[in-house]
Structure 1
Amino acid sequence: MNANFLTAVLLPLALFVIMLGMGLGLTPTDFKRVLVEPRGVIVGAIAQLLLLPLVGFGLANLFPLTPELAVGVMVLAACPGGSTSNLITYLVRGNVALSITLTAVSSLITVFTIPLVINGAMQYFLGASATLQLPFLKTVIQIAVITLIPIGIGMTLHRYAPKFAATVEGYVKWLSLFFLGLVIAGLLLAERANVVSFFLQVGWVMLALNVIMMFLGYAIALGTKLDGPSAKSISVEVGIQNGTLAIAIASTPTLLNAPTMAIPAAIYSLLMFITSAAFGWFIHSQTRSPRPTEKDSRP
């Protein structure tokens, strides 16, 4: 797949579809829930926005990665949860409303934290060779445009054309997975000469990051006296990342323009669905609680 087509056409289209699908399932109530049910949102946000980058930083130091791949790990760790987390939360009988709220809140906050985390990572891992820094204001505006605008369009459709939004939401989510698959395939094809080496170098790091965060999220939620469904939601939320956004940040010419830094996000995006399925099986084997209804999980 042509690299220019991947970064100029497919990536923006994939990201637009994914964020549109997220917006189709959001309402203002999902943001108000921060005030109504603050404990679950605060615990989930701390795990997503603070603990995930810290664990990613520790693993990037622990494993013998090239500086570019280490920065790529941090790019993925700086991104918000992915919209697929809401579906997986439903399948593992978690608190879907909390999952939706955490996805929405992290998508808003990371617009501002992404350039801070990435610039710090480049200074640390690349040092004097870090010739590129993401200008804060320009990067915030660009990330806001490629994420918040399609979310806003989706929320508008949800508000003024609810039947249409409900009809197309499922199709859009499956289309999102299709585009994510194309993006990953295109990126790995473009880096095919080094793809085996990349998997051997960073594959274990991304697997460790995913598994550690899912179990930490679950343990911290239970440790703060949240109920089981909320703990599942937080665990899934910190395990499912917006890999497409990470790939876009790493590959887009107006941002990092470094396809090698996108490799960790591509590998993570493959692994997270496997580990999520394993997590769902593990949780299902431990509990037989009834699936929460929409009434139970949304105020």
Structure 2
Amino acid sequence: MKRVTAAVCLLALALAACKKEADTPATSQSSAPASTAALPAPVVDTATAPVELKEVVETTPGYVVGITYATQAAKYPGLARELKRYADDARAELIDAASGRTAKDNPSPYELSLTFDDVVDSPDLMAVSADGSSYTGGAHAAPLIARFVWLPKQNKQLTAQELVPDKAGWAAISQYVREQLHSALSQRIDADDLAPAVRAEQIETGGRMIDDGTGADPANFAMFEPVRGADGKLSALKFVFAPYEVGPYSDGTQTVEVPASVLLPHLAPAYRGLFLGGV
């Protein structure tokens, strides 16, 4: 009996020793942490990452593309990203249209021409214009017109809806713009010395297009340019209307300057200080 007991004790001690060895971390070189283990890639903040605004010139049998960035917008990555996105989208649409056509549709290559220019460049505000055209067949090219107004200190784009937040403000702006456009329409038609009946018809047709395109809705006034006064503050906003928005294609792009005195009562308080007479 004693021999059995002793054997059992020896077996227990042996098992305990084995368990200890198994629980003890290996100290050999092969088990040491590898100093060359791959580290996670650094996180890039896309909101602040630089954006290259590089001129694009492409000439192929199917299409021709020319995009020029005559702007200093690259210093604001958020704004530069918006400009590049607009240009890339226009280019992609042209290439897509070119890839789906045949020589029978139109033997001439499709064409895209687009230029970005600085309108205002100040520490408080930067505005960039985009003007060009895209030809994918038909009687004439489609206009490419856009405006970008950037607030560097807030690092964001200023929209018409944010600038004038209430409907009453857009009603006042709409009325002013309509008056200016109707007056310009009358002057253009009078210069053509038309017969009374033809003149009346053109006034009616043109007037209806103006009214349809200038309703009291911020979407109708999404494109605007700041106009700087002598002291650096904004003296007006120039609203931009592409062909077909407030007139036929033949009338081209039309603009109306709305003075600060008309805008001020309706501007959001945060932006009144940018304008003449604002605090």
Q: Which has the higher strand share?
A: 2
Q: Which has the higher helix share?
A: 1
Does the TM-score normalized on the shorter chain lie above 0.5?
no
More relative contact order in 1 or in 2 (CA 8 Å, sep 6+)?
A: 1
Tell me the TM-score normalized by structure 2: 0.30
